[in-house]
Amino acid sequence: MIDFTGKAAYISGGTSGIGLAMAEEIARRGGHCFLFSVDDQAKRDEALAAVERAQRSTDQRHAAIHLDVTDHLAVDRELRAAVEDFGTPFFLANCAGIGGAVYFEKLSYERFDKTIQTSLYGARNTCAVLLPAMKEHGGFVVNVSSMSGLVGLIGYAAYSAAKFGMVGMSDALRSEYKRYGIHVASLCPPQVDTPLWREANLTKPPEVVAVNSNSGLMQAHEIATAMIRGLERREAVIVPGTRAKFIHLMQRFLPGIRERMTDRMIRKAQSETPKS
């Protein structure tokens, strides 16, 4: 069992969705939560209230600041100050990201760049500050990837590029920091019912909707508890949900069959949709 009692957890994108669910779970286990996101003050206050309701003891401390993880200078400045004031991190989760699916020919350079900057560079920026601070006492780092970081699909050229990158970076960091007692994992959930998912659903191509429906829909709190279980088992890639695990295993051991199954769903959706 991982003991979070009295230990500091730093969570990017921590004021909504999966990040907030992680914070609530860690607060229930006695941890102090430092959240940072681009959400406005009202959203940050709402998130802090939710974390405080979940906490185990009134002695726990929590904070939420505005921080854009794509700004590496701001990340360096704010997180160095946080380590001095809030405490050495025991846990870091990189949850900040941009979702959505779009056909490649409609994918602008700006959208591709912003997707990579937020997820992949954002994770790099926080790790660059906090991993050195964790070396003395060890801990855990979770980079929130996706099933789209394990299986590339139509519509996800930008999203998969970012999320595959996070899996690769996690593998490299785990190898490098294992000697310091730091375990680095990728969290690769399927669809999760979050504000980001609901917004992205409004503009998904029909093929994406068809394929996504096969992987199931999970709740954020389910992802948080699955993450804790995965960390306790020292899993390198944490895949929550039975359906998602099955798809992951198919991709690893029977990729050709998995691709043919996906292609059938795509062709069916395309046959019911006029060509653009």
- Residue 145 appears among annotated catalytic residues: yes
- Which residue's entry shows tokens 């701001």? 74
- In angstroms, the CA 228 to CA 48 distance is 21
- In angstroms, the CA 163 to CA 200 distance is 16
268 vs 184, 208, 212, 247, 261, CA distance in Å? 39, 12, 14, 19, 11
- Residue 163 appears among annotated catalytic residues: yes
- Which residue's entry shows tokens 């088992």? 233
| Helix boundaries (H) for the chain | 17-28, 41-54, 72-86, 109-116, 122-134, 157-177, 195-201, 206-212, 220-232, 242-253, 255-271
Measuring CA to CA, which residue among 88, 76, 172, 94 is closest to residue 136? 88
Which one is catalytic: 145, 146, 170, 186?
145
Which one is catalytic: 10, 121, 156, 159?
159
- In angstroms, the CA 82 to CA 88 distance is 9
- Residue 114 appears among annotated catalytic residues: no
Read off the tokens for 108. 């602008």
- In angstroms, the CA 118 to CA 36 distance is 13
- Which residue's entry shows tokens 């681009």? 38
Distance of CA 220 to the CA centre of its chain: 11
Which one is catalytic: 163, 186, 204, 215?
163
Active-site residue set: 145, 159, 163
